[in-house]
Amino acid sequence: MRSYDETEIPICERLYEEGSAEAPTAVFSRDDEVLDGDGCGQDTQALSGLAFYRGGSYPARYRGALFFSDYVRRCIWTMLPGEDGRPDPELIELFRTGVASPVDVVAGPGGDLFYVDFAGGTLHRIVYDGR
């Protein structure tokens, strides 16, 4: 996958020159699974929801994790925090499969995750059940 730096667009180049831009934490190819054997498919992706989990009703291991969803693949993953407390792309786990067309993921005030189902026009709450 090409980076924006390779496009040589002047406005982007100025960001790199000034040190204002950082490389992404993780990159996912549309031709690959997010996790080998995750059952969420490949060839098409639309990463569409991101939420940092600050804590609440889920186990402490999720505190500081980044949850992300894919509208097409209908899955939600979590990127657990590494030793430095930042989400670590080496610590990705599948969180849920078969979710309904998620386009936004947020952590609610009580600590549960919510996602918007674009195709169905509904809001879903994910109460942690130990899976």
- The alpha carbon of 3 is separated from its chain's Cα centroid by a whole number of angstroms, namely 19
- The boundaries of the domain holding residue 110 are 31-126
* pLDDT score for 61: 92
The confidence score (pLDDT) of residue 19 equals: 65
Grade residue 131 by pLDDT with cuts at 50, 70 and 90: low
39 & 73 share domain: yes
* 2 confidence band (pLDDT: 50, 70, 90): low
In angstroms, the CA 62 to CA 104 distance is: 18
CATH number at residue 94: 2.40.10.500
Give tens-digit pLDDT for 10-65: 877 777 676 676 777 887 777 788 888 888 887 667 888 889 999 889 999 999 99
Q: pTM of the predicted model, to two decimals?
A: 0.81
| Alpha helix ranges (H) inside 37-108 | none
**How confident is the model over 79-119, as pLDDT tens digits?**
999 999 999 999 999 999 999 989 999 999 888 999 999 88
pLDDT score recorded for residue 31:
76
- From residue 58, alpha-carbon distances to 47, 55, 63, 108, 127 in Å are 23, 7, 8, 11, 8
**Can you give the pLDDT at residue 43?**
66
40 secondary structure, DSSP code: S
Q: Is the dihedral of CA 46, 129, 108, 121 positive or negative?
A: positive
For residue 131, being part of any structural domain is answered with: no
CB–CB of 66/51 below 8 Å?
yes
Is 20 a domain residue?
Answer: yes
Residues 19 and 37 in one domain: no
